[in-house]
C-alpha cells in the first residue's frame, strides 16, 4: 500500500495533498513514514491509496 497526506487547514473545501518542493505529491510506502511527515502539518489526514 501507499499513503498520502491531505492537509485540510480551513476545512474540506481547502484540502490539498502535501507536496515536495517541486510540487509533486508526497507518496509514502509505509504509514509510519507518513506519520513522521505529518508532524509538520497543522490539520492533516493520512490516506491509504
Query: Which cell numbers in the block locate residue 35?
Result: 506519520
Give the predicted TM-score (pTM) of the model: 0.88
- Residue 30 in this model has a pLDDT that exceeds 90: yes
DSSP 5: E
Starting at the edge strand found earlier in the chain, the sheet holding 3-7 runs: 16-17, 3-7, 44-48
Which class for 34: exposed (0-12), middle (13-18), buried (19 or more C-beta within 10 A)?
buried
Other Cβ atoms closer than 10 A to 5:
22
Confidence band for 25, pLDDT divided at 50, 70 and 90: very high
Give 10's pLDDT tier (boundaries 50, 70, 90). confident
Amino acid at each position: 500500500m501507499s499513503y498520502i497526506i491531505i492537509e485540510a487547514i480551513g476545512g474540506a473545501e481547502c484540502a490539498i495533498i502535501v507536496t515536495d518542493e517541486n510540487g509533486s505529491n508526497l507518496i509514502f510506502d509505509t504509514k509510519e513514514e507518513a506519520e513522521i511527515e505529518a508532524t509538520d502539518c497543522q490539520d492533516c489526514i493520512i490516506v491509504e491509496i
